[in-house]
Amino acid sequence: MQGNIFICLNRATYKGLIPTELEGKYSRKVYDEEGELIEILPTTFEKMASDNRIKYGGVIEFKIGVKEYFVIEVDCSWLDGSVSALLDLGSGLAYPNNCLMTNTEAIELVSANTKDVI
């Protein structure tokens, strides 16, 4: 575990493209032979989580009723605006949709909705 925050994403957000504000930090990128950035590729949160599974661990999936949720660990900062961009994902949505959480809060949410204990 190397991230500093968890986010619980609903299915639509998890399968959707990451916001433009987060592309520099989380998107897949293509570099040339000299290491120069050539292109930023469209990237979903699902792909981002898969790319970072070794660094942050796997995605925890669970359902509440018929709704699917995905908890991922991320490294984000107030200074670069990534925390604000992630918070915006949950604006106007009910918990736990796109909700940022501490480690303890993530453990409580997952434990209450799965047989997994993290």
Q: From first to last of its 118 residues, what are the pLDDT tens digits of the chain?
A: 456 799 999 999 999 999 988 888 889 999 999 999 999 999 999 999 998 888 888 899 999 999 999 999 998 888 888 899 999 999 999 999 999 999 999 999 999 998 755 5
Instruction: Check residue 57 and give its pLDDT.
Output: 85
Whether 99 is in a domain gets the answer yes
Whether 81 is in a domain gets the answer yes
Whether 106 is in a domain gets the answer yes
* Residue ranges making up the domain that contains 47: 5-113
Whether 118 is in a domain gets the answer no
Whether 65 is in a domain gets the answer yes
Radius of gyration of the chain (CA): 15
Whether 57 is in a domain gets the answer yes
Whether 101 is in a domain gets the answer yes
Cα 52 to the center of its chain, rounded Å: 10
Question: What total of structural domains would you count in the chain?
Answer: 1
What is the rounded distance in angstroms from the CA atom of residue 53 to the CA atom of residue 23?
18
Whether 77 is in a domain gets the answer yes
Instruction: Check residue 1 and give its pLDDT.
Output: 43
pTM of the model: 0.86
